[in-house]
Structure 1
Amino acid sequence: MKKWEISVIPGDGIGIEVMPEATRVLDRLAEIHGGIAFSYREYPWSCEYYLEHGVMMPEDGLKQLEQSDAVFLGAVGNPKLVADHISLWGLLVNIRRGFEQVINVRPAKQMKGIASPLVNPKEFDFIVVRENSEGEYSEVGGRIHSGEDEMAIQNAVFTRKGITRAMDYAFELAKTRRGHVTSATKSNGIVHSMPFWDEVFQDVSKRYEDIQTQSVHIDALSAFLVSKPHTFDVIVASNLFGDILTDIGASIMGSIGIAPAANININGKYPSMFEPVHGSAPDIVGQGIANPIGQIWTGKMMLDHLGERELGTLLLDTIEEVLQDGIKTPDIGGTASTIEVTDHIFNKLNCGHSWCQAPSVDK
């Protein structure tokens, strides 16, 4: 039996509520498969941890996580306790950078059973591949002077290596999908980094002659994700542009509460990390209404990364079946609780594949 070692960080807010729901669904899938199991090691790193220890994670935190097959993260942040730049850079970004998770991947699709705010979404299904290590989110810069002369300088850093690996990932992904890659640019307004981005995109495109390509300015592309999202397949974007586009993707799906994400290490040296997009949502903590689908769908992405694609497909299909049955949390128009949604996913999981064991159904 294959045992997957998973580092679990529930984090803050609703992360603590949705993480147990996702892990019990993963355990259900392991039961169905019969040939795998999950071993979880949970870490209490959070804003509460920061208040007690003065850090978001211990000095040897990355060393503790390093031997796992994947990191499963719930949510980070509680601005009432800890400033966001401290909580995010102390935990989430620390793991991303320390484990060389240079690619961020976020899918967006019209989910069966959820009404998109778009009048005619036309079954859109696209993935944004975001460069995750440099770009507009580099740490280069600083502040000087004070008063009316105070100045802040933030330098965007783009390297050929960083851009190329993000674009290669996008093109390889497009091979498994509909064979189209869109590059998000702004070379008509940003005079150095974006023309460089475009040049690298043209160079990389030459190695993928069977893939259709286009470059679209970020302002127009943001509008097109609202007016015609069904025309996109794989979108590759810089750190900031990818961040913005994926929030639009979550919004047109119907709720940021269902959106998943993956931070991918591509060299095999360190584990990748999987996290929902929704954040800690402190306004609904403790009410039992947090949507668990974002965390569970994120588990699907983790399964795919671990090579358990059949189980990942089964899980997403089951999520959509439950949504079509009308079992939804309030953020997507339902009345079900966090646990009720998970219970329905848990009990509906079934499989006709030869590699599946017949699961027992809880009564």
Structure 2
Amino acid sequence: MSLLKIGVIPGDGVGPEVTEVGLGILEKVAKRDGLVYELHPFDLGGERFLRTGEVLPQADQDRLRACDVILLGAVGHPGVPPGVLEKGILLKLRFDFHQYINLRPVRLFPGAPCPVTGKGPDDIDMVVVRENNEDLYVGAGGFTYKGTPEEVAIQTSINTRPGVERCIRYAFDAARGRAARGAFKGLSEADKAGGYTRQVTLVAKTNVLTFAHDLWMRAFNEVAADYPDVKPGYMHVDACCMRMVTNPEWFDVIVTTNMFGDIITDLGAVLQGGMGLAASGNLNPTKTAPSMFEPVHGSAPDIAGKGIANPLAAILSTAMMLDHVGATPSADRIRRAVARVLAAGAPKTPDLGGKASTVEVGNAVRDALD
């Protein structure tokens, strides 16, 4: 592999703490597997904004664009008004770098706590493909008579045929990629006899959002015709939330809109043991600009500086980053190490019921790499 340029944004709150651990894991696996990389640190986040008034200067964005991938810790600061950092850093990078896929694996590792009685690792192993550049997050809309009793607020959902179709097609390709692990256990014998090996479920609200989600449904059906080996399915988002809890084994690959994906992936995080285990990737599949990888737990300012944040989501996000650049054997090595630590039952950070520190858990994963 050629030199890998990694932009690093530690960010706010616990972001620097978990990012440091993730980078330590990267360093060890890179030495073992012969990966060559260089880190490009960026001072972006709440502290810089409060200090300088800058959110994402153009010079920093240009430097980030020159990187191959970006590793992000967390964005969010209690001293900064809501939306300033989220829109100015997260959404801006997602949109400007055409990171149009948000990929969220939902996998319950043995040893991780699951709040659903009677469900285990064999039942919870899905991936959510969330459209990442459209829908309500575009920011189309505005106010009329703001601050008055007659105030009107409009937020418009934007859905384009190219944006919808590329997301759906990515989901079907992801299902085919998962087929290498064997047929999806949730398929019936009739499905298997029909030649299906995996399953993609569109999650939307076609009975109410009859314009935007009619587009999603039609595009889904047309794309599905190109994948005769993948079973297509549909579920309303409210039913999906219910079934993710009662029957998570029903799901293989879910594809959905930006807003719905934001919601159901956090539900998925709870199923897999909590936000401290939830990794994500904001992907530019064409690689015309860097993709960005981040734990989804946020900056957690209430525990920042205490050294007790769970670093596993950051470590698993690092593994996703390696997948993206073609170093999947190294990524698998990291995931196996995380699995060993969880299966051992210790050390665990407080969010998982333990008393270990961020560093102690990171050291355990480093040792498990051997």
Q: How many residues in Structure 1 have an aligned counterpart in Structure 2? A: 348
Give the letter for the 1:138 counterpart: V
Q: Deviations over 1:107-151 (max 9, x none)?
A: 011111112111022421000000000012222110011412110
What's 2:187 paired with?
none
What's 1:121 paired with?
119
Offset at 1:267?
Answer: 2.1
Contact 1:27 1:38 in 2 (8 A): no
What's 1:341 paired with?
361
| Runs of 4+ deviating beyond 6 Å | none
What's 1:4 paired with?
4
Give the letter for the 1:96 counterpart: R
Structure 1 distance, partners of 2:25, 2:171, is 29
Instruction: Please point out which of 212, 216, 231 is paired with 2:231.
Output: 212
What's 2:130 paired with?
130
What's 1:201 paired with?
220
Mapping for residues 140-155 of structure 1, pairs under 5 Å: 140-146=140-146, 147-155=148-156
Structure 2 distance, partners of 1:40, 1:248, is 33
What's 2:195 paired with?
none
Mapping for residues 180-199 of structure 1, pairs under 5 Å: 180-199=199-218
Mapping for residues 315-354 of structure 1, pairs under 5 Å: 315-326=334-345, 327-350=347-370
- Helix, strand or coil at the partner of 1:284: coil
Structure 2 distance, partners of 1:247, 1:121, is 18
What's 1:101 paired with?
99
Offset at 1:96?
Answer: 0.6
Instruction: Please point out which of 299, 302, 305 is paired with 2:318.
Output: 299
Offset at 1:209?
Answer: 1.1
Structure 1 distance, partners of 2:82, 2:343, is 36
Give the letter for the 1:41 counterpart: H
What's 1:87 paired with?
85
Give the letter for the 2:343 counterpart: Q
How large is the Cα RMSD of the aligned pairs?
A: 1.1
What's 1:221 paired with?
240
What's 1:267 paired with?
286
Offset at 1:248?
Answer: 0.4
Offset at 1:338?
Answer: 0.3
Mapped pair 1:238 → 2:248: no
Aligned sequence identity (%):
39
Structure 1 distance, partners of 2:154, 2:59, is 32
Structure 2 distance, partners of 1:54, 1:93, is 18
Offset at 1:2?
Answer: 3.4
- Helix, strand or coil at the partner of 1:138: strand
**Structure 1: gaps (5+ residues):** 351-363
Structure 1 distance, partners of 2:119, 2:202, is 22
Contact 1:250 1:258 in 2 (8 A): yes
Structure 2 distance, partners of 1:121, 1:49, is 44
Contact 2:102 2:130 in 1 (8 A): yes
Offset at 1:59?
Answer: 2.2
Give the letter for the 2:43 counterpart: P
What's 1:312 paired with?
331
Q: Deviations over 1:83-105 (max 9, x none)?
A: 12001011111111110101100
Contact 2:65 2:289 in 1 (8 A): yes
Offset at 1:190?
Answer: 1.4
Offset at 1:159?
Answer: 0.6
Structure 2 distance, partners of 1:73, 1:84, is 19
Offset at 1:56?
Answer: 1.4
Mapping for residues 173-184 of structure 1, pairs under 5 Å: 173-177=174-178, 178=184, 179-184=198-203
- Helix, strand or coil at the partner of 1:216: strand
- Helix, strand or coil at the partner of 1:60: helix
Structure 2 distance, partners of 1:60, 1:183, is 39
Structure 2 distance, partners of 1:61, 1:150, is 38
Deviates more, 1:58-67 or 1:338-347: 58-67
**Structure 2: gaps (5+ residues):** 179-183, 185-197
Deviates more, 1:317-326 or 1:269-278: 317-326
Offset at 1:214?
Answer: 0.5
Offset at 1:60?
Answer: 2.1
- Helix, strand or coil at the partner of 2:83: helix
**What is the TM-score normalised by the length of structure 2?**
0.92
- Helix, strand or coil at the partner of 1:40: strand
What's 1:360 paired with?
none
Give the letter for the 1:40 counterpart: L
Contact 2:42 2:60 in 1 (8 A): no
